Amino acid sequence: MAGAGFAAELRLRLAALKGRLQRSSQSEEASDDPFLMQASATLENLTDLCNQPGENGTLSKLLQLYTQAVLDITYFEENQLVDEDFPEESSLQKVEELINTLSEPEILINESGTSQEPLAVLGVELLECLYWRRGALLYMFCHTVKGRKERLMSKTDLFKKFLNEGIQYLVKMLEFRCSDHPIEDFVFQDTDTARLIHEGIFSDTHLLAMMYCGEMCHWGLKYCREVKERSRSVEAGSSREQPGSSQSEVLDHRETGEKVLLKYITVCEGPLRLHDWDTKNAKLILDYFKQFSA
């Protein structure tokens, strides 16, 4: 059962979440939104468990409910951002706020004093979702920013930071279900299913994560090249060293991108060959990566 100190801290987080839910519910888009309705029910359940501790109020149960409420509320807010095409005057602050909120469950676990890892407390599906949502949000934000050249030129450091963080979130998300055992350990009549399980691919989301990660690595390398070219163009007029990306960052992007996209292509043209997953863009990006070979 969760300790009194943890329960008190959780109540504070719940109060903040309820305020956030109330603010979101006041928007025009919130009418009968299923995610906000589900979040409201989850918070009520969680409040009851906090006020009446017992066998059902285990640390894991409380944190799982808290995480589910966070995921539902932030999903509604993310959809608003996407629908509004990430407005320039407010989206940066909102994206950072959402990333911080989606990091709260793991922070709360660390502050609870438990010796358990977040995976053991939350379970693979919730933890995977937390990493997917952060990675996908940063992917969508960077996708929008790179289409606005003037904004990108004024936010290059931030763009680079968000790219790196997004790649890290997606790589971590893809690692949670990967098996350390050979395919032969799986007892399946369908060898294609066995291959997917072995590769940690349990849904379309895993495939999207691979493609998003590969694209972000591609954008990162293009950014590195553009920074280098701009540095050369001003070199004659300035002796000051121009900021850029290190060779190790270039190689990290290339190696990470190659790994996930090769896996994506292998799976889509192998076990999922009848499901019409497009691999053309992945192959074009791999061709681009060849320009950065060590």
Residue 192's identity, in one-letter code, is: D
Half-sphere exposure of 188 (CA within 13 A, CB side): 14
Other beta carbons within 10 angstroms of residue 108's beta carbon come to: 21
Q: For residue 34, which of 86, 82, 71, 88 has the smallest C-alpha distance? A: 71
Q: Give the whole-angstrom CA distance, residue 216 versus residue 273.
A: 25
Provide the angle, in degrees to the nearest 10, between the axes of the packed helices 247-268 and 156-175: 40
Q: Give the whole-angstrom CA distance, residue 78 versus residue 103.
A: 15
Q: Give the whole-angstrom CA distance, residue 109 versus residue 98.
A: 18
Inter-residue long-range contacts of 246-255, CB under 8 Å, 24+ positions, other chains counted: 249/164, 249/220, 249/224, 250/221, 250/224, 250/292, 251/292, 251/294, 253/167, 253/217, 253/220, 253/221, 253/224, 253/292, 254/217, 254/221, 254/289, 254/292, 254/293
| pLDDT tens sequence across 138-185 | 999 999 888 776 666 566 778 888 999 999 999 999 998 875 544 445
**pLDDT of amino acid 19:** 92
Residue 171's identity, in one-letter code, is: V
| pLDDT tens sequence across 212-245 | 999 999 998 887 676 666 655 555 455 444 444 5
Mean per-residue pLDDT of the chain: 84
